[in-house]
Structure 1
Amino acid sequence: MICLVMAGGKGTRMNLDDEKLLLKFKKPVILHVVHSLKNSNSFSKILAVTSCNSPKTKKLLEENNIETFDTSGIGYVEDLNSTLRTINDHVLVISGDLPLLDEEIIKKITNQFDPKKIWTSILVTNKFLTALGLESDFSVNFDGQTCHYTGISLVNSEKVSSLENLDENYIIIDDKRIAFNLNSKKDYDLLGTA
């Protein structure tokens, strides 16, 4: 299995002077995510998906011997689609802004991979997210409740020709290690209480 770490966004919702993935929580968030992925021993390759929106993040990753893949930076879906077209393997797609991520939750997620399913998104319930004091703009109704995307998906890229009209499956994992995305200044401030 290959891991794609999405690290090419602008982070505009954070309203920062610097790149979001360079925010520190013990160390830069992007390095924390990559080190957790490496420590899980779950991947044959870890590839950080970068763009012209994240030049300092790309530089930091390369200084730490992490392979990067450049995309146009037009948007998340476009960047992911262009990257997946170059891969013919099972893939974990993960956001680079998960400061509480650790190897145990990564193993728990990768163990749920089903190659018969093209795309499986990992969700948290709205009830769980709001209990943490967090909000999300990306929700879906699943299993009779409102849930939110974590930025983590299990993909059989051998079966993906386009990200349009995919048969998407869902798994709910209410765990703060994957619920805590840094999407706003409020999220970063809350991180100190997590």
Structure 2
Amino acid sequence: MNIIIMAGGMGSRLSNPNKPLIDICGKPIIEHVASSINGFGRVYVATTIRHGEVVNWARQHGYEIAITSGRGYPEDLLESLSMVSTPVIFVPADMPFITRELIRRFLMMAAYITSPMITLMYERGDYQHFTGISLVRKLELMHGIIPWVSLVIPWTPELLNINTQEDLELARELCKTHKLL
């Protein structure tokens, strides 16, 4: 199995294109993510040429690089998927509290679904949100997209995705208190 850490976002809401390298709990966010998926398969970091620091971090840590165009998450996902063989697990580079156990649970639930792609969503309040975590079993396009089904679980801090200053502050508070919401 291949694992692709998606690290090519612009980080515009945080004004930091190298968002995966922001320090949370004493190490870069991407390092937390990598720790959670090491051992599941070969790890790639998908990013753009604009993210030289992320590329350097990945090389220093022995990960393969998949350079994408940076046109957006869905486009970069398809581009990086064309560079590796399936099955592939996709995880975003900005989830500092993601755990091996969460990935294991997701894979166990996905084992019973035959769709080419399974995405993980969470429910918080009245809304459901994509996490960016997906399993692609095979590259099978239908009208330009991979047919998928979504698994929905309740929100937990493991699913905190750092997109805004408020998310960053919450993550740093969780580091200080070691408190799970």
1:149-160 equivalent positions in 2, closer than 5 A: 149-156=130-137, 158-160=138-140
The two structures, once aligned, show a CA RMSD in angstroms of: 1.9
State the AA in 1 paired with 2:4: L
In the alignment, what sits opposite 2:109?
Answer: 112
Is residue 79 from structure 1 mapped to residue 60 from structure 2 by the alignment?
A: no
TM-score (norm 2): 0.86
In the alignment, what sits opposite 1:147?
Answer: 128
State the AA in 1 paired with 2:144: E
Is residue 186 from structure 1 mapped to residue 172 from structure 2 by the alignment?
A: no
**8 A contact 2:95–2:158 mirrored in 1:** yes
- CA distance in 1 between counterparts of 2:107 and 2:101 reads 10
In the alignment, what sits opposite 1:53?
Answer: 50
Alignment length, in residue pairs? 172
- CA distance in 2 between counterparts of 1:164 and 1:112 reads 26
Deviation at 1:8, TM superposition (A): 1.2
- CA distance in 2 between counterparts of 1:174 and 1:164 reads 30
Deviation at 1:165, TM superposition (A): 4.2
Deviation string 1:67-120 (CA, Å, 9 cap, x unpaired) is 111111222222111111233321111100000012111211122233621111
With over 3 angstroms needed to count, the CA separation of the structure-2 counterparts of 1:87 and 1:160, relative to structure 1, is: farther
- CA distance in 1 between counterparts of 2:150 and 2:100 reads 21
- CA distance in 2 between counterparts of 1:189 and 1:11 reads 15
- CA distance in 2 between counterparts of 1:170 and 1:57 reads 29
- CA distance in 1 between counterparts of 2:129 and 2:147 reads 17
With over 3 angstroms needed to count, the CA separation of the structure-2 counterparts of 1:65 and 1:162, relative to structure 1, is: farther
TM-score (norm 1): 0.80
Structure 2 gap segments, 5+ residues each: 175-181
Structure 1 residue runs of 4 or more that deviate by more than 6 Å after TM superposition: none
- CA distance in 2 between counterparts of 1:84 and 1:69 reads 9
**8 A contact 2:2–2:85 mirrored in 1:** no
Determine which of 126, 129, 144 is the counterpart of 1:164: 144
SS in structure 2 at match of 1:72: coil
Between the aligned residues of both structures, percent identity stands at: 25
State the AA in 1 paired with 2:118: T
- CA distance in 1 between counterparts of 2:154 and 2:139 reads 28
Deviation at 1:42, TM superposition (A): 2.1
Deviation at 1:126, TM superposition (A): 2.7
Structure 1 gap segments, 5+ residues each: 128-144
**8 A contact 2:66–2:83 mirrored in 1:** no
